[in-house]
Amino acid sequence: MIRPQWQALRVGHHVLVHDEEMAGMPLVPGRVAMIQTDPNSNDIGIRITPTEGTSKIVRPRRLAVHMPQLDLDEHCWRCATAA
């Protein structure tokens, strides 16, 4: 996710997150649960529900997060690896 999109996220926004705890780092749906603002880069907590297990709040790096309308032209090494 590019920095302006990251900084524009608000609590309740839907996103897709690469779950780094699962093999292959699949994209899972999530919802922004908390934001700690910072002029350089916000610290964002996203609630995800992995396919196995209960929901949890993760604090991913911004490059591990996508908008739900995934732009296939957007470069993401995680998505390219999975494909």
Residues 44-74 have pLDDT tens digits of 999 998 777 789 999 999 989 998 876 555 6
CATH label of the domain that carries residue 49: 2.30.30
- Residues sharing a CB contact under 8 Å with residue 64, sequence separation 6 or more, in sequence order: 17, 18, 20, 25, 78
Q: pLDDT category, 7, cuts 50, 70, 90?
A: very high
Determine, yes or no, domain membership for 62.
yes
The verdict on residue 82 lying in a domain is no
Q: Is residue 74 part of a domain?
A: no
Q: By residue range, what is the domain housing residue 52?
A: 3-67
Is pLDDT at 83 greater than 80 in this prediction? no
Kindly report the pTM of this predicted structure.
0.81
What does residue 18 show for φ and ψ, rounded to 5 degrees? -75, 115
The pLDDT of residue 33 is above 70: yes
The whole-angstrom separation of Cα 48 and Cα 54 is 9
Domain-embedded: residue 81: no
In a domain, 75, yes or no: no
Within a domain: 42: yes
